[in-house]
Structure 1
Amino acid sequence: MSNQFANNQATASKPSVRAKIQAMGGFLTNMVLPNIGAFIAWGILTALVIETGWLPNAHLAEMVGPTITYLLPLLLAYTGGRMVGGQRGAVMGSIGAIGLIIGSDIPMFLGAMIIGPFGGWVIKRFDKLIENKIRAGFEMVVNNFSIGILGFFLLLLSYTVIGPVISAANGFVTSAIEALVATGFLPLLSLINEPAKVLFLNNVIDQGIYYPLGMQETLEVGKSIYFTVASNPGPGLGLLLAFTFFGNKTSRRTAPGAIIIHFFGGIHELYFPYVLMKPLTILGMIAGGMSGIATFQLFGAGLVAGPSPGSIFAYLALTPRGNFTGIILGVLVATIVSFIVTSLILKFEKSSDEDDDQLTESIERSKTMKSEGKQIYSSSDDSAKTSAVNKISFVCDAGAGSSALGATTFRKKLQKADLNGIEVKHYRIEDAPQDSDIIVVHKNLLDRARMTFKDQKIITIDNYIGDPKLEELLQQLAKNNH
């Protein structure tokens, strides 16, 4: 396995374009994720009190507009600025965002996700320039006035230049997608959505494009189909059901558990490895996604906010009055179509020796891992054989989905093996501690992980649950501990 670490370092010297896009998607997700509760609160308010809501109330409905116009974009900008420049960055990002909000007549979600990190970067660069150059006793004056002066110029810039540019870009994207809706070809978005999702680019699509458009439309009509075009749990459910009935031994054993976590828990990353294992099944995902969107369109269905995570429970909770039939049918139709297409693919591709071949491959892979180095995380000298591993970090795109599941599962296995002294936690890739002894990441996110952990030891896996490399790691930790 030490050879694999060396190969990982060599192949990741130049991060791929996909890794950089994934990093951007992860950044967007981590701006949105801490504020999802506020978005849901606004969605519930909208679903209840607007004119077409469950409990129409003109007085309470006065909060709907200001909340989406001011509160939600400011939260995004504050979070984005804080991620880049700490608390001072959060303040700068918020100052820049208010200029965009005042100078625009649309909800500035996209603008907030740009100006927030930009404000954080500006103040971070300034602080770097004056580091160790401030005379004692003047720190507070410099800190406060630097934000005040730079914030003033950023406020003017966002109001007069950045805001109009983003408004124009938003108008162009909105017009293009509305034209697609008018022609009835909105389902074609699945040709982009589904392949992008299994390449871990789903956060770029949802948080960067569909959520801002969806919130904008919801303010106008009380719901939006944009929240459903990439988050529908139906296609993934159909694919996992097909693997449950027609997959090889391994997939038949693991797919039922993945179904529960995917459909009810909303962690879609669980089905990605199945598509990557049989790439042709992406056709089933595309067909399921397209049929689901077409059904939503047919019934005029939509959601009041972005379902995050993409669980069926989140879908039903955010469905406005009169839309339950369309939403449920959209998920059901997508499931059936995905199941049928994927099942046909699996039946045609299946060979009589497939199970044995895959089992042999797993055995050989285990042997190879053992021969490459029994000490995954230690040096080759005898004293290193008893060296302790104190911290294992499971990482993924957003740090709240598949990595959380993997960390929890592996931690329980350590407890059963009486290895309670090892810390196992989950993180967004860029947030994992640098003192981690071992980083566990999906193989498709390796390039991005190497952008942050250039010298760390990384274990790449195909699946966050039951992967042979995790079993090998568990055995090695138990061996070194006894």
Structure 2
Amino acid sequence: MTDTAAAAKSPGTVRVGVQKFGTFLSGMIMPNIAAFIAWGLITALFIDTGWLGNSGPIPAWRWADSAMLGGGTASDGTEWIGLVSPIITYLLPLLIAFTGGNVVYGHRGGVVGAVAAFGVIIGAAGTVMFLGAMVAGPVAALILKQVEKLWAGKVRAGFEMLVDNFSAGFVAFFTALAAFFWLAPAMKWLTDLLGAVVGWLVDTGLIPLASIIVEPAKVLFLNNAINHGVFTPIGSEQATETGRSLLFLVEANPGPGAGLLLAIALFGVGAARATAPGAWIIQFLGGIHEVYFPYVLAKPILLLGLIAGGATGVLTNVIFQSGLVAPASPGSIFAVLIQTAPGSHLGVILSVILSAGVTFLVSMLFLLGSRKRDLAAEAAGADGFASAVAQTEANKGRKSSVLGGLVAGGTATATKTIQKVVFACDAGMGSSAMGASVLRNKFKAAGIEGVTVTNKAIAALDGTADLVVTQQQLTERAQQREQSALHVSVDNFMNSPRYDEITRMLLEQQQGGAAEPVAAEAAPAAPAATDSVLAPERVRIHAGSVSRDEALREAADMLQAAGAVTGAYYDAMLAREQTVSTYMGNELAIPHGTNEAKDAVLASALTVVRYDGGVDWDGETATFVVGIAGKGDEHLSLLSNVATLFSDDEQIAKLKAAATPEELYALLQTVNEG
């Protein structure tokens, strides 16, 4: 955990804006990289000039004409569409659009986004519509989201599914028409323009100059907007036409980073030199390029070596007319070789070797020229490399286990006084409240004072937290809201080992002479829960098992029968699970609605169902399903009590041993205590 306060930029800066945009683009492409790789393998093997193509280096496939799979004219004169063209024309853009819509508004947003994208795909016939899908998918989902806000919480019970399905259907219908008639021509024009610009750079031999932009952008984590917004779409279209594209190697070439790390391993000083060999393995063989970014930030002049090496690699591919058939992700030498087009291996391998060699030589000159000064700084106790690691994580916007391993001991420590810890989740009322309670108890047991632990919805984060804890799936969203805070990801709110790390860090902070914290803001006392929050009739035991959705339905029905929620709460529970699982660990799940579903909550109530056969909860086994509806802040004390109860292994054993619902209810009485 590192202090990013000094390095983080305000949300309005150009760097952060481009980084967020690039992250969003990457978020549509990266989950679908497997499909790109599969398409690349099909292209490399079965197009006419592929390895197994009719005109390829290996004789045509013996037991089937390669044109059947790659497309083209078969030996008997039959025209085959094959797999290559339909996948890149339809499947890949639709996957991108669905992913973008899903990010904006869940599964239904993804469905609407895919339908809208089909309009732009058909409307721009003959053009690969990656850019169109990147626009149509998220925009259609956003339109659906805004439309459904008009009647949120106003639909009569029992009609929610009907209204949701028809609203999504109508939005999909109109956005598909709009994409066909208006968006498709605009995106075709933009795609043709970008393609013409890149083509001009390639034809004139100026494409190596792209390294002047790409290499600095990589170090600042701004490369995704260029790579996934321009190079991947245009490179994929080029690969369809020619079977290869050098654009896939402009950013992903592992050579420059490898050359830089080799130079530092031989001619660097201090921690940078000691860690460079391990970083080389991670970067060159594993494809994790971010591992060399701190070395550049510690000595920015080395960026010139990266630019020179990157330009050399691109120029080599221009000279040899070599390239890849699909994106190499991650940018490992293995991924590069697997995606190398037939006949391009000499050029691609040379581009990696030469780019590494040029970067090595240029970096060596700078390192030798400043060696005496660097040794003197090291002797004086300056630790520029550790600061560079912190700066790199600040640029990235989140904690990196790979970068953290470069710091001595593999664990960074906080360099700021932590006074306010916030647990954040989607709704701010379920998992985060329980996690806050568990950590609050750990702080109390360790004697830590002057630190408040509260819980919030991610949307309510206001920039005042010193440390934010979230489930892994939500960390990136939290970092966008709290850019100056430390961020810790956990996969289990009940018993995560990260809690002990946080506790040790704060103990060291208080015992190691850290600045005395100012008087901490007292956490507001949660209102006491009423006796009716958990009633005997809302405690059940089932001998068998059910599905997760069936367990959600039972919890929602019990809450509705208690008069605590409306019929819309079940859909809100499902939506919550699509965002992030409510499985807490210790065999406990606490399903609850999203933050937008507060209008569906009429009163506070709890339900407890023990499924002795277990419930498969997104790959985890939940024995206890605690349904919750919280009105105002009343649920906070309830969740605190539930967290305390289920963090004790002996108590859990007693709860599992209860023979009747009455016995189970008696053991659960502590949740009703104020």
Q: Same fold (TM over 0.5)?
A: yes
Q: CA deviation at 1:354?
A: 2.9
User: Separation in 1 of the partners of 2:503 and 2:374?
Assistant: 30
Question: Any idea what SS the aligned residue of 2:50 has?
Answer: coil
3-state SS of paired residue (2:400): helix
Instruction: Pick one of 118, 121, 124 that aligns with 2:145.
Output: 124
The answer to whether 1:44 aligns with 2:73 is no
Deviations 1:361-398 (A, max 9, x none): 239x99xx9xxxxxxxxxxxxxxxxxxxxxxxx99859
Q: What secondary structure sits across from 1:339 in the alignment? A: helix
2:236 matched to 1:207? no
Cα distance in 2, alignment partners of residues 324 and 450 from structure 1: 41
1:90 is matched with: 110
- What residue number does 2:211 align with? 190
Distance 1:300 1:14, change over 3 A: closer
The equivalent of 2:289 in structure 1 is 268
- Offset at 1:447? 12
User: How many residues are treated as equivalent by the alignment?
Assistant: 414
Contact 2:195 2:234 in 1 (8 A): yes
Task: Identify the residue that residue 451 of structure 1 maps to in structure 2.
Answer: 480
Kept in 2: contact 1:85–1:121 (CA 8 A): yes
Alpha-carbon distance in structure 1 between the residues aligned to 2:502 and 2:131: 42
- Cα pair 1:16 1:447 within 8 Å, conserved: no
Describe the shift of the 1:214–1:341 C-alpha distance in structure 2 as closer, same or farther (beyond 3 A): same
Return closer, same or farther for 1:197/1:448 CA change in 2, 3 Å cut-off: farther
Amino acid at match of 2:350: L
Give the AA of the match of 1:148.
G
Farther off after superposition, 76-85 or 122-131: 122-131
Shift of 1:456: 4.8
CA distance in 1: counterparts of 2:120 and 2:274, whole angstroms: 52
Q: Which residue of 2 aligns with 1:178?
A: 199
The answer to whether the Cα contact below 8 Å between 2:283 and 2:291 also exists between their aligned partners in 1 is yes
Which blocks of at least 5 consecutive residues in structure 2 are unaligned?
Answer: 54-65, 71-81, 412-430, 440-466, 470-474, 489-500, 512-674
Cα distance between partner residues in 2 of 1:455 and 1:22: 16
Q: Deviations over 1:74-114 (max 9, x none)?
A: 00000000001001110110011000111112111111111
Supply the distance in 2 between the matched residues of 1:44 and 1:230 (Cα, whole angstroms).
20
Asked whether the 8 Å contact 2:275–2:406 carries over to 1, the reply is no
Q: CA deviation at 1:63?
A: 1.0
For 1:67, the equivalent position in structure 2 comes to 87
Residue in 1 that maps onto 2:554: none
Counterpart in 2 of 1:428? none
1:134-173 to structure 2, matched below 5 A, reads: 134-173=155-194
CA distance in structure 2 between the partners assigned to 1:12 and 1:236 by the alignment: 26
Asked whether the equivalents of residues 396 and 403 of structure 1 are also in contact (C-alpha less than 8 Å), the reply is: no
CA displacement, residues 103-131 of structure 1 (integer Å, 9 cap, x when unaligned): 11211111111111111211111222221
**Aligned residues of 2:9 and 2:16 also touching (Cα < 8 A):** no
Give the structure 2 partner of residue 338 of structure 1.
359
1:55 aligns with 2:76: no
Hey, what's the Cα distance between the residues in 2 that align with 1:409 and 1:273?
9
When normalised by structure 2's length, the TM-score is: 0.57
The structure that is helix-richer by fraction is 1
Closer, same or farther in 2 for the Cα pair 1:147/1:473, shift >3 Å?
closer
Contact 1:395 1:439 (8 Å CA) reproduced: no
Distance 1:26 1:170, change over 3 A: same
Which whole-Å CA distance do the structure 2 matches of 1:20 and 1:264 have between them?
31
Please provide the CA RMSD for this pair. Answer: 3.4
Report the equivalent of 2:372.
351
Quick check: 1:232–1:292 contact (8 Å CA) kept in 2? yes
Whether the 8 Å contact between 2:130 and 2:233 is mirrored in structure 1 is yes
Residue 185 (structure 1) shift: 1.0
Residues 248-327 of structure 1: pairs in structure 2 closer than 5 A: 248-327=269-348
Once the two structures are TM-superposed, the CA of residue 20 in structure 1 deviates from its matched residue by: 1.6
Inter-partner Cα distance in structure 1 for 2:145 and 2:404:
33
How far residue 195 of structure 1 moved from its aligned partner, in angstroms, is 0.9
- TM superposition shift of 1:250: 1.3
- What is aligned with 1:467? none
The structural deviation recorded for 1:204 is 1.3
Q: Which has the higher contact order (CA 8 A, sep 6+)?
A: 1
Structure 1 residues 76, 358: closer, same or farther in 2, change over 3 A?
farther
Instruction: Report Cα offsets for 1:266-308 as digits up to 9, x if no partner.
Output: 0000111111111111110010011111111111100000001
Are positions 1:20 and 2:49 aligned together? Answer: no
SS of the residue corresponding to residue 351 of structure 1 reads: helix
Q: Which structure features the higher share of strand residues?
A: 2
Aligned to 1:376: none
Q: Is the 8 A contact 2:264 2:273 kept in 1?
A: yes
Aligned equivalents of 1:102, 1:273: Cα separation in 2: 45
In 2 relative to 1, CA 126–51 (structure 1 residues): closer, same or farther, beyond 3 Å? same
2:585 matched residue in structure 1: none
| Match among 79, 96, 100 for residue 76 of structure 1 | 96
Q: Label 1:245 to 1:197 Cα distance change in 2 as closer, same or farther (>3 A).
A: same
In structure 2, the CA distance between the partners of 1:232 and 1:96, relative to structure 1 (3 Å rule), is same
Supply the AA of the counterpart residue of 1:43. G
Equivalent position amino acid for 1:453 in 2: E
Q: Tell me the TM-score normalised to structure 1 length.
A: 0.78
C-alpha deviation, 1:315, in angstroms: 0.4
Identity %: 44
Q: Distance in 1 between matches of 2:348 and 2:374?
A: 41
Give the equivalent residue in structure 1 for 2:472.
none
More displaced, 349-358 or 447-456? 447-456
Q: How far apart, in 2, do the equivalents of 1:212 and 1:189 lie?
A: 16
In structure 1, what residue type is equivalent to 2:68?
Answer: H
Separation of aligned partners in 2, 1:345 and 1:40: 38
Q: Is the 8 A contact 1:50 1:222 kept in 2?
A: yes
When Rg is computed on C-alpha atoms for both structures, the one with the higher figure is 2
Report the CA distance between 1:136 and its aligned residue. 1.8
